[in-house]
A and B are shown apart, each in its own frame.
Chain A
Amino acid sequence: MNSIRIKELRKNYDKFSVDIDDLTIPSGCIVGIIGINGSGKTSLLKILSGITKFDFGYVELFGTKLDGLQIRELQKIASVFEDINFPGNMTIRQVEKYCSMTFIEWDNDKFDLLLAEFRIERNIKIISLSKGMRSKLLLSIALSHNPNLLLLDETLSGLDPIAKDVVLKKLSAFIENENNTVIISSNNVNDFQNKVDYILLISQGKVRFFESCERLLENFMICDYDELISVCGYKNSLQGVRSNAFSKEALVDVNKLEGYKNLSMRPATIEEILIFMEEQ
């Protein structure tokens, strides 16, 4: 089953455009979106969450057009953004009341448990929450109205390693139901190593690739550039180059490379993949 289908999506901004030709995301997985700042990660997530209206194209969520979603269907999509928050003067208790009045499938018991787990007290005001607490609160809300799709924008940044672990565990548990999907963006790519199922790399509003972590780690290798060019037919496999004063390294997709047996290579980490590809 597919959770998201995008065709010829285009949204123009001042300095760049989100331009996605064809993208299909299966359900029951965690997709990590990586890209440098300003590459369009947040923009794409805002389009998918219904906050930003796009200019052209076709976006389908769970088989229904994004434009035509009823409130019940809209609430099956939960999003947590870095820059969006509740009014500063509201207390958590009031936020809870707001949620129970706004969300059709609000599960207050679940929210209680999550708040307890994250150690968030009800009497404090939104404005006094730290960045990490804020993320935890918004994530708790997102998980408490029974969504099928979680869109998380930089939710892990600002969390200590233990909290990150807890959150990732919750996301894993969330997709135990194969109808659920998580799309999470992060600047810290190492958060994703081994923890997500697919990686989506966005650069200047365009999708550079969408691959399973498995395939990426298996096929993307780093080798010496000079050694590489001696292999005939290497051009197709070259994904990126990085050089310093002492050496020049190349990122290759070994699936597209023949006769590389003698090449000395090491697997690339996801962070390296991002860096090599952006340096081009």
Chain B
Amino acid sequence: MKLRIHNHSDIPIYQQLYEQIKNSILCGDLSERDQLPTMRYLAKELRISVVTTKRVYDELEKDGLIYSIQGKGSFVAARNKEIVREEYLRKVESSLIEALKYRILAGLSIEELKSMIDILEVTDE
């Protein structure tokens, strides 16, 4: 699992970490039942506060992405297909909103936009 924290970003550190771990889980870098590093180890290596890493792990657990066993550590939860799909849907949606925003600036009609999608789909395969 690759994690990079930007200390001076506008995005709070806990959020950066949360998103990155979540992505790793959802896109399959981490498999079900994989053990996550301890929150203290994470804090030490990333040079951030244990309060932050604890918070991230608590949120991940609350969102059903990981689970913890007392005395053993934290593990990746079974990938809930719904969560994954939802995540990808959200990504599609935000990309489309972006595309819709720019199509107006580019002077593209909705029909032209739809054709573009078809063309790109063909090229991609």
A interface residue numbers (CB < 8 A to B): 28-30, 168-169, 172-173, 175-176, 178, 193-198, 212-214, 217-218
Within the complex, which residue of B40, B44, B48 is in contact with A194, where a contact is CB–CB below 8 Å? B48
Decide if A213 touches B49 in the complex (CB within 8 Å): yes
Q: In chain B, residues 20-54, which have Cβ atoms closer than 8 Å to a Cβ of chain A?
A: 40-41, 43-44, 47-52
Q: Knowing A172-B44, A176-B40 touch, does A217 contact B50 (C-beta < 8 A)?
A: no
Q: Knowing A28-B50, A194-B49, A213-B49 touch, does A175 contact B40 (C-beta < 8 A)?
A: yes
Determine how close the nearest CB of chain A comes to the CB of B44; give it in whole angstroms: 4
B interface residue numbers (CB < 8 A to A): 7, 12-14, 40-41, 43-44, 47-52, 55
| B40: A residues at CB distance < 8 A | 28, 175-176, 178
What total count of A-B pairs have CB within 8 Å? 45
A168 to chain B: closest residue by CB: B47
Q: Knowing A28-B40, A172-B44, A194-B7 touch, does A214 contact B50 (C-beta < 8 A)?
A: no
The interface residues of chain B, by DSSP majority, are classed as helix
Decide if B47 touches A214 in the complex (CB within 8 Å): no
CA distance A16 to B14 in the complex (A): 40
Within the complex, which residue of A169, A176, A178, A213 is in contact with B51, where a contact is CB–CB below 8 Å? A213
Decide if A169 touches B12 in the complex (CB within 8 Å): no
| B48: A residues at CB distance < 8 A | 194
Decide if A194 touches B13 in the complex (CB within 8 Å): yes
CA distance A217 to B52 in the complex (A): 11
CA distance A220 to B33 in the complex (A): 39
CA distance A267 to B106 in the complex (A): 37
CA distance A178 to B40 in the complex (A): 8
CA distance A272 to B50 in the complex (A): 23
Q: Knowing A28-B40, A214-B14, A217-B12 touch, does A194 contact B51 (C-beta < 8 A)?
A: no
| B14: A residues at CB distance < 8 A | 214
CA distance A168 to B41 in the complex (A): 14
| A213: B residues at CB distance < 8 A | 49, 51-52
Q: Knowing A178-B40, A214-B55 touch, does A169 contact B47 (C-beta < 8 A)?
A: yes
Determine how close the nearest CB of chain A comes to the CB of B38; give it in whole angstroms: 8
CA distance A193 to B8 in the complex (A): 10
Decide if B50 touches A175 in the complex (CB within 8 Å): yes
Q: Knowing A194-B7, A194-B13 touch, does A214 contact B51 (C-beta < 8 A)?
A: yes
CA distance A193 to B49 in the complex (A): 10
| B13: A residues at CB distance < 8 A | 194
Determine how close the nearest CB of chain B comes to the CB of A208; give it in whole angstroms: 19
